[in-house]
Structure 1
């Protein structure tokens, strides 16, 4: 599951519906900062695992995802370096952020507004009050076969990602706040004393 959590942020591919595209564009163009609680469920052929946490984004390029349950994990991007801290393993993984995120959903949410330059966007339908958008990166990336983003009232409420191993990751956002003041320290990370640091 830990790999799935990291893979979610380092993924690439997305789905959409008629009213979803203008909602998506309005959401991206009008969002400087973003904060929300989330519930993430990973479903496979014989398993289902759920995690809870919070996320903060400051565009362009800065992000923080904190997993509180069932284990503690922190992912911080300061615009240049992406840090993954696994408290249970007492290990920090350091990677170049641009290379690590690529054309992933995290890069899409935290990046610039050049969405149509990097993605093929299409509408894919409506479920209840949620309009779904599909966005596929123009540069090939096979980490995920598809990623859907659900919008309601110009707010991102859900993401759904399917990978090539038959796993489906669903993230539901709650208490979403846009353009609130965010502490810049949230996007800086210093490895705790005594942990192993691996990576670039």
Structure 2
């Protein structure tokens, strides 16, 4: 089964009553680093895949997603390149970060401040105890066709995505820490000896 990887995460520190769009904009404007744990579920008509792990973000453009189960994978954005290391397959994929992310949610949360340049934002009300927004990509060729973000207690708690391959992804975040001090080495990657490296 093909593994479905969607690296992105953030947290916010805002008044409890703030609407979702205001919280997202404040995060992009003021949050430089984030650490958290995540649980991810990807479903389509044939499969349901669950994964969990930890992540770190250092804006702009640096992030580290570490998948612990069911497969060990490491995804690193070092500011210039995106690295995906699949331990089981002994394979590393590397490509320029800008072309790899485009206007994806990872670029939105870990990249520049140009949220509304790439997405149309709309308040989506309250559901499941969270304040939601819809973010619709402005580019028709964007991989993600829909993106919802849910907030509660000053923190991004959940993201729901629909992609052009018919997958629905739900990511729930826990143990979120805003602006921690993160080691610079977290965002560098050197391929282990003996692995295949596919590079663009």
Report the TM-score when normalising by structure 2.
0.89
Corresponding residue of 1:13? none
Q: Greater relative contact order: 1 or 2 (C-alpha under 8 angstroms, separation 6 or more)?
A: 1
Q: CA deviation at 1:2?
A: 4.6
Q: CA–CA distance in 1 between the matches of 2:20 and 2:170?
A: 18
Gaps of 5+ in 2: 9-17
Which is further off, 47-56 or 160-169? 160-169
Q: CA–CA distance in 2 between the matches of 1:169 and 1:23?
A: 22
Deviations 1:24-77 (A, max 9, x none): 112222211011000000112132111010110000110110000001000000
Q: CA RMSD in A?
A: 1.7
Deviations 1:163-193 (A, max 9, x none): 2333211000000001010001000000000
- Secondary structure, aligned partner of 2:45: coil
Deviations 1:116-159 (A, max 9, x none): 23321111221133111111232333422211111112311111
- Secondary structure, aligned partner of 1:4: coil
Gaps of 5+ in 1: 11-17
Report the TM-score when normalising by structure 1.
0.89
Corresponding residue of 2:74? 74
Whether the aligned pair in 2 keeps the contact of 1:23 and 1:153 (CA below 8 Å) is: no
Q: CA–CA distance in 2 between the matches of 1:178 and 1:141?
A: 32
Aligned length: 191
- Secondary structure, aligned partner of 2:4: helix
1:59 correspondence with 2:59? yes
Q: CA–CA distance in 1 between the matches of 2:60 and 2:137?
A: 18
Corresponding residue of 2:106? 106
Whether the aligned pair in 2 keeps the contact of 1:26 and 1:154 (CA below 8 Å) is: no
Whether the aligned pair in 2 keeps the contact of 1:147 and 1:159 (CA below 8 Å) is: yes
Gap change, CA 1:48 and 1:3, over 3 Å in 2: closer
